[in-house]
Structure 1
Amino acid sequence: MSPALISEAKRKILNLYHDDGYLLAEVTEEITPGSADNMKNLTLHIKEGKKVRIKDIEFKNNEQFSASRLRRIMKETKKRNLWLLKIGEFDRKKFQEDKQLLVDFYNKEGYRDFEIISDSIHYSDDNKSIYLTLELYEGPRYKYRNIIFTGNNLFTTEQLHRVLGINSGDYYNRQEQEMAIYDRINGLYMDRGYLYFNIVPQEIPVGEDELDLLLNITENHQVSVGRINIVGNDRTHENVIRRELKIFPGDIFSREALIRSQREIFIMNYFSDVVPDIVPYSEDEVDVEITVKEKSSDRANLSFSISQTYGLIGGGGLEFNNFRGRGQQLRVSYQQGTNYSIYGTRTNAYKSASISFTDPWIFDSPNLVGFSIFYTERGYSSSYYYYPYDLTQRGASLRWGRRFRWPDNYFRGTWIFSGSKKEYHNLNETYLEQVLLGRDKTTNISLTQIISRDSRDAPEFPTRGSVLSWSTTLAGWFLGGTEHFVKNIFNLDFYTPTFWKLVLYNSVEVGLIQKIRDDSIIPPDERFIMGGAGMVYGTPLRGYDDNAISPVPLSATGSTYSYWGGETMFKYTLEYRVPISENPTIYGLLFAEAGNTWMNLKTTDPFNLRRSAGFGVRFYMPALGMIGVDLGYGFDDIDPEGYSGHGIPEGWKTHFIFGMPF
């Protein structure tokens, strides 16, 4: 037992306490005789003390940025806050990380030579708080003078300058420089097969505040792809994965094609992780190994919501999103709701059943085929903004789709041929004549074209990319039937990453429906209605009751008709999404929405919108799907003319969703 050994043990214990913020911890040793002459007992007595808090953070020689600005850069090392108990605790490890954040900040602003000369800790008189002092050297703010490439044969210097994106006269930015070199320039070569490409940057200061950037390139030779191995697909057939690949054996290696292949496999939502790896095989050839981790994509789906119209709506179904491991979708669902109307004596009812099957790659070709069969009953509601009749609808549809190569290979087209019969019951004569032109039975035969583009980077919590969809439905005309109209719906969703892992989500939806014959009708169930969570039908708008937003026309006598439905629709949604868990996917959100429906194109006013805001949470649970709850505040009355709420805001509304995405 040597003094050096005891001292080292005490030092390690103190470092452990100091790293956790117990800077006043003390360790003393006590040596007592052992059980034998050549043995001694060592006892280490620890006095932990209290965790010290940061009273203030001071900076020396900071001329370019204020102390308050620099304190904001430090993420974890903060001054004590009387209201937030955790704020102000000192953690040595996090302090080191925050010092690196200061270095990165100055380097990003052009201060290449910045360094923290020293840091010191001073205790308050009562030893309960500490003062941190950082002495800085900012140095000059550099600009690029010359940017020089050497060793480049495949691309001209002018081409490399355009890709680099840094010009003479720009302020030095280390973060941007590294991204330009190792992402843009490196990617340019690796996308063309130069896997062993190498670039060495050299910064040469010139004068007091300029530098030359010399980029030494070694291109080496092109590499081709040998074998592509799929690992970890215990359930999914290998061809389901291979048909999504954008890189193939014999191709010149392309990093872009490999990353795109990873995205295409991941967006199917059959796997929780997709990891590509490059395995050198020979000097001119590499193998690609793609490791996937299967996750549950089939669901016994229980859905539940509360609707003012239909009360408690519940149901269930089976969703086989990777049916038999072949990438096919088989869905069977049933929903039913019942409620006693507070506005009358009729009992509302809702019943829906459907079965659908889709094969997105029939015979392993980029062609989609599918079919669906459906049956729906919607019961009477006496409230003026809900359907004032009973509706029974039954029908079927056939679907065919194709992936496009132009304008790019994110686009696809889908065509749906459908037919259905509708029967209206328990409606008054006025509504029958004005809305349905005296018909209590109609036939819908329609052809729908959907052009879509999906470039999201993930299926459940996208952080970048967009989803575009333009749906056009032609009903009747040469197809036959008693309903003759054209319906267009355009939707654009886009995702933007912000700081940390927060995501900004924007969505715009526009709809227009017009009849194509004077003697035809636009059925009320095809018109646009809005409100609620859209659990049953209609366009969601949180903060309002289900299907509560619709134009209310006047009769010839000046009285109001019952529910009518609009021919035009507009809705805008803004969400700020905060990730909580990656597996399973859980995120919170803040939202603001605005939307409305109008009687026709002439009366459309995009500045007359029903507005709402609120917050919510989403859970993606294995075998259950998406579970969500939103609390929204409606700022407007659904009927500003005074037919219902007399100008009073709708106020807070709670929307529950189980098993269906919002």
Structure 2
Amino acid sequence: MKFRYLVAFVSLFHAFSSWASDSFIVKDIRVEGIQRTEAGTVFSYLPVKVGDTLDEEKATEAIKALYATGFFKDVKLKSENGVLIVEVDERPAIAQISINGAKEFEKDKLLEGLKQAGISESRIFSRSLLDRAEQELKRQYISRGKYAVKITTTTTPLERNRVAINFDINEGRTARIKKVSFVGNEKFKDSELRGILVLRKPDLLSWFTKNDQYSKQKLSADLETLRSYYLDRGYLEFNIESTQVSITPDLRDIYITINITEGAQYTVSDIKVAGEPLLPEEEIRKLILLKSGQVFARQKLTESVKLITDRLGDDGYAFANVNAAPELDHENRQAAFTFFIDPGRRVYIRRINITGNDRTRDEVIRREFRQMEGAWHSTKNINISKQRVDRLFFFNSVNVETPAVPNKTDQVDVNVKVEERPTGSIMFGAGYSDRQGIILNGSISQNNIFGTGNFFSLDVNTGAINKTYAASFTNPYFTVNGVSLGFDVYKRDLDTRPLSRVGTFKTETVGAGVRLGIPIAENDIVSLGLAAENTVLGVFADSPQRNKDFVTEFGKSTNNFPLTLSWARDRRDSAIWTTSGTTHRLFGEVSVPGGDLDYYKISYHQKWFYPITDNLTLMLNGEFGYGDGYTGRSLPFFKNFFAGGNNSVRGYDLNSLGPRDDRNLSLGGSKRIVGNIEVLFPVPFMKDDRSLRLSAFLDGGTVFARNIDFNLMRYSAGIALTWVSPMGPLKVSIAEPLNDQPVDRLQAFQFMFGQQF
């Protein structure tokens, strides 16, 4: 730095020495030595004009101004018969930049980084900027563990005062973490503490995770993880004394040593509440997760403070302050905590402001809000409102802020900023199922017609077994209370002939229906539907006798008026990447008198998700279905339940389980039981891709014609992959049947692609 100032001083001295004239009036100004720079550019920076008196002070100012542009490495001022002569020596321009030997980074990214450092083609060349850019390149490589990197920079002069810059990079070998050691730990083994850290020595996945490469940011995060680990286990006096990071002379191996003091383990002796709780102390204590006699856990303390703060926020105290002050008894190794509560002033909502909704009407967003204008601030209602707007799937992002109203101490606004996403789609696709062959599908849908929130769709799905042609319209707010109204028109064809183990028949159903959805709670909805449909039956020479008898009794064409009633509850944290929550669905269907059929069906479906760890999720699934006829009639055979395949018991052929005829063809049944135990986890090499998920499963289930006999249940175990691909969902499974019988048709590998599942 001192050398740079010395160079500048010498340059200025040299410039002054070249102008030794006395003060004079500038009659004209002439610029000499410029090659690329326009004379007008020099004049614009020069603080001297024709007619000015040039003295020593103005000359100094002029030289400094021209140097400050960075365009010139030398500036001289001369006078000749009242003419001011400005002699400049331009800095060279960068004509080209080349990078050799770069493998760790893409060259385009390196060039972009150089540009941000001031080095790019057509810019003025500066040695100081070049040195800084070289250091920045080294820093980037060191961040990737390339401590042995060597960067050789050469500049080659070119014609017209230009230079070419070449970066020759020898990346060297990446330094790896050889060992992470702990000093001072007695309660936990080194291996246990290493297991909670991100940084670790190389393993089978290190090439993907890069966790064997040292990073200061990762080490800081690991130290905080280590601190939390001890504090969550009662070690209130835990302290990280120091950390040492060393590298071997060959710059290949890194050793990390963490010096800690564990201290004693503390238990909670007493919990007190002080300040202005406003709520009954009994209610406050229920929100405190720390209990007397338990080992202290910082996580429980933090969560308790949050629960109390949120509870006060529900009553309008948006700026409540809750602090837990500890009192340590070092001799008995106990800690008492006093929760000091300062609720502050009660806050009201002045206005809800919505921005970013260029297409969607304000009312579509406002009707999802449970926080009202003019009401008390409620943290719970604001969070629920945000979730409901997010679940519309009309927006890529929903951000909610509650800034204070200027000059008001008891009012806040709710600012909702949304980023709209396309809600209409035209899709054409193809898929393949191992049983249905090639499947063509297409749909035209708009989830937010004209910004009203209404839904409309046209769907076409073809397959050797199932064909569907349907049109649907839904108004989710037919009433202001959120009652939805929908209409459906459909044609559904079913042909079981490609299913070699299922009794053959064919149905062609044409129908139309109307449905209502009635919300009865925040996450619960009751749906009621009525449809009219005509079904044309087809039987074949190899069809089961039961199917032929049905056609003889009712004819090939039957009219039906199914009335459906369902209840659904969805409390999952995510519809695609679920880690916690439950879903329930109770569905009933009954044929209304006046048609040709008399039957009813009831089914119940529940899923339960529980996070085992950050990456493992346990899923329990249970399904039960029951159907029968009334007025002395039986359940129509084409309304039977089936089991087997990707959606029930994997490892067994599609719809192949349950009762069979004398030719061993599956007939389906009036009762169905299916259960699944599944452990879900991300793909090891693609943990951040939320469209891919692996699972290990245990399936069980079947269908029954008469009495339920659990000895007839079939079981299987295996692994599965689910991928929400751009072309449609893909589900692949490999299963091993556990108690198959000689009559069962097995299928270890099963997949579905291009269909919903």
- Normalising by the residue count of structure 1, what TM-score does the alignment of the two structures yield? 0.83
Give 1:401 deviation, angstroms: 2.1
> Who is 1:536 aligned against?
none
Deviation by residue 1:133-190 (Cα, 9 ceiling, x = unmatched): 2221111111222322221241233332221121222222112211111x11101110
Distance 1:13 1:305 in 2: 48
Distance 1:73 1:94 in 2: 12
> Who is 2:401 aligned against?
277
With over 3 angstroms needed to count, the CA separation of the structure-2 counterparts of 1:70 and 1:591, relative to structure 1, is closer
Residue 460 of structure 2 aligns to which amino acid in structure 1? Y
Whether the aligned pair in 2 keeps the contact of 1:106 and 1:114 (CA below 8 Å) is: yes
| Percent of aligned pairs with the same amino acid | 22
Say what the alpha-carbon RMSD is for the aligned residues: 3.4
Distance 2:277 2:255 in 1: 57
Distance 2:375 2:618 in 1: 37
Give 1:620 deviation, angstroms: 6.1
Alignment of 1:255-270 (within 5 A): 255-270=379-394
State which of 642, 645, 656 in structure 1 corresponds to 2:742: 642
> Who is 1:36 aligned against?
none
Q: Does the residue aligned with 2:462 lie in a helix, a strand or coil?
A: strand
Q: Does the residue aligned with 2:624 lie in a helix, a strand or coil?
A: strand
Structure 1: where are the runs of 5+ without partners?
31-42, 339-348, 534-538, 554-558
> Who is 1:572 aligned against?
675
| 1:301 and 2:427 correspond | yes
Distance 1:215 1:610 in 2: 53
| 1:66 and 2:166 correspond | no
Q: Which moved more, 1:599-608 or 1:63-72?
A: 599-608
Deviation by residue 1:550-592 (Cα, 9 ceiling, x = unmatched): 4214xxxxx2364411111122332515389999962323252
State which of 263, 273, 288 in structure 2 corresponds to 1:149: 273
Q: Does the residue aligned with 2:387 lie in a helix, a strand or coil?
A: helix
With over 3 angstroms needed to count, the CA separation of the structure-2 counterparts of 1:17 and 1:100, relative to structure 1, is farther
Give 1:260 deviation, angstroms: 0.7
Structure 2: where are the runs of 5+ without partners?
6-127, 155-165
Whether the aligned pair in 2 keeps the contact of 1:351 and 1:377 (CA below 8 Å) is: yes
| 1:661 and 2:756 correspond | yes
> Who is 2:546 aligned against?
431
> Who is 1:454 aligned against?
570
With over 3 angstroms needed to count, the CA separation of the structure-2 counterparts of 1:91 and 1:220, relative to structure 1, is closer
> Who is 2:597 aligned against?
483
Higher relative contact order, structure no. (Cα contacts within 8 Å, ≥ 6 residues apart):
1
Q: Does the residue aligned with 2:317 lie in a helix, a strand or coil?
A: coil
Residue 553 of structure 2 aligns to which amino acid in structure 1? G
Whether the aligned pair in 2 keeps the contact of 1:543 and 1:654 (CA below 8 Å) is: no
Whether the aligned pair in 2 keeps the contact of 1:469 and 1:492 (CA below 8 Å) is: yes
Alignment of 1:210-249 (within 5 A): 210-249=334-373
> Who is 1:39 aligned against?
none
Q: Which moved more, 1:151-160 or 1:299-308?
A: 299-308
With over 3 angstroms needed to count, the CA separation of the structure-2 counterparts of 1:301 and 1:596, relative to structure 1, is farther
Whether the aligned pair in 1 keeps the contact of 2:350 and 2:412 (CA below 8 Å) is: yes
State which of 292, 314, 324 in structure 1 corresponds to 2:450: 324
Distance 1:45 1:3 in 2: 28
Distance 1:296 1:620 in 2: 18
| 1:552 and 2:660 correspond | yes
Distance 1:28 1:442 in 2: 85
Give 1:237 deviation, angstroms: 1.8
With over 3 angstroms needed to count, the CA separation of the structure-2 counterparts of 1:496 and 1:434, relative to structure 1, is same
With over 3 angstroms needed to count, the CA separation of the structure-2 counterparts of 1:362 and 1:21, relative to structure 1, is same
Give 1:545 deviation, angstroms: 4.1
Distance 1:561 1:582 in 2: 45
State which of 577, 602, 614 in structure 1 corresponds to 2:707: 602
Deviation by residue 1:28-58 (Cα, 9 ceiling, x = unmatched): 999xxxxxxxxxxxx9999865332222222
Whether the aligned pair in 2 keeps the contact of 1:375 and 1:394 (CA below 8 Å) is: yes
> Who is 2:179 aligned against?
56
Q: Does the residue aligned with 1:364 lie in a helix, a strand or coil?
A: coil
Whether the aligned pair in 1 keeps the contact of 2:657 and 2:744 (CA below 8 Å) is: no
Give 1:370 deviation, angstroms: 1.5
| 1:630 and 2:731 correspond | yes
Distance 2:278 2:245 in 1: 55
Residue 333 of structure 1 aligns to which amino acid in structure 2? D
Distance 1:174 1:502 in 2: 24
State which of 736, 740, 748 in structure 2 corresponds to 1:651: 748
Q: Which moved more, 1:387-396 or 1:61-70?
A: 387-396
| 1:163 and 2:260 correspond | no
Q: Which moved more, 1:251-260 or 1:111-120?
A: 111-120
Whether the aligned pair in 2 keeps the contact of 1:584 and 1:620 (CA below 8 Å) is: no
Give 1:431 deviation, angstroms: 3.4
> Who is 2:720 aligned against?
615
Give 1:307 deviation, angstroms: 4.0
State which of 386, 392, 414 in structure 2 corresponds to 1:288: 414
Alignment of 1:505-516 (within 5 A): 505-516=619-630
Whether the aligned pair in 2 keeps the contact of 1:320 and 1:331 (CA below 8 Å) is: yes
Whether the aligned pair in 1 keeps the contact of 2:435 and 2:498 (CA below 8 Å) is: no
Residue 581 of structure 2 aligns to which amino acid in structure 1? G
Deviation by residue 1:326-359 (Cα, 9 ceiling, x = unmatched): 2222121222334xxxxxxxxxx75331212111
> Who is 2:459 aligned against?
333
> Who is 1:102 aligned against?
226
Whether the aligned pair in 2 keeps the contact of 1:266 and 1:458 (CA below 8 Å) is: no
With over 3 angstroms needed to count, the CA separation of the structure-2 counterparts of 1:95 and 1:201, relative to structure 1, is same
With over 3 angstroms needed to count, the CA separation of the structure-2 counterparts of 1:45 and 1:214, relative to structure 1, is farther
With over 3 angstroms needed to count, the CA separation of the structure-2 counterparts of 1:642 and 1:158, relative to structure 1, is closer
Residue 203 of structure 1 aligns to which amino acid in structure 2? P
Distance 1:591 1:231 in 2: 45
Give 1:456 deviation, angstroms: 2.9
Residue 680 of structure 2 aligns to which amino acid in structure 1? Y
Query: Could you say which structure has the larger radius of gyration?
Result: 2
Whether the aligned pair in 2 keeps the contact of 1:528 and 1:550 (CA below 8 Å) is: no
Q: Does the residue aligned with 2:561 lie in a helix, a strand or coil?
A: strand
Alignment of 1:524-543 (within 5 A): 524-532=637-645, 541-543=649-651
Deviation by residue 1:64-96 (Cα, 9 ceiling, x = unmatched): 000100111111x21234885555332233222
Q: Does the residue aligned with 1:296 lie in a helix, a strand or coil?
A: coil
With over 3 angstroms needed to count, the CA separation of the structure-2 counterparts of 1:419 and 1:363, relative to structure 1, is same
Distance 2:695 2:136 in 1: 46
Distance 2:412 2:384 in 1: 18
> Who is 2:215 aligned against?
91
Distance 1:127 1:373 in 2: 71
Residue 600 of structure 1 aligns to which amino acid in structure 2? A
Residue 630 of structure 1 aligns to which amino acid in structure 2? K
Whether the aligned pair in 1 keeps the contact of 2:605 and 2:624 (CA below 8 Å) is: yes
Q: Does the residue aligned with 1:268 lie in a helix, a strand or coil?
A: coil
Distance 1:288 1:149 in 2: 31
Give 1:378 deviation, angstroms: 3.0
Whether the aligned pair in 2 keeps the contact of 1:145 and 1:212 (CA below 8 Å) is: yes
State which of 522, 527, 530 in structure 2 corresponds to 1:417: 530
State which of 309, 312, 316 in structure 1 corresponds to 2:438: 312
Number of matched pairs: 611
Distance 1:79 1:382 in 2: 54
Residue 68 of structure 1 aligns to which amino acid in structure 2? S
Give 1:364 deviation, angstroms: 3.3
Residue 652 of structure 1 aligns to which amino acid in structure 2? F
Q: Which moved more, 1:605-614 or 1:66-75?
A: 605-614
Between Structure 1 and Structure 2, the one with more helix by share is: 2
> Who is 2:104 aligned against?
none
Whether the aligned pair in 2 keeps the contact of 1:119 and 1:135 (CA below 8 Å) is: yes
Q: Which moved more, 1:287-296 or 1:370-379?
A: 370-379
Distance 2:401 2:686 in 1: 26
Q: Does the residue aligned with 1:362 lie in a helix, a strand or coil?
A: coil
> Who is 1:133 aligned against?
257
Give 1:446 deviation, angstroms: 2.0
Q: Which moved more, 1:539-548 or 1:373-382?
A: 539-548
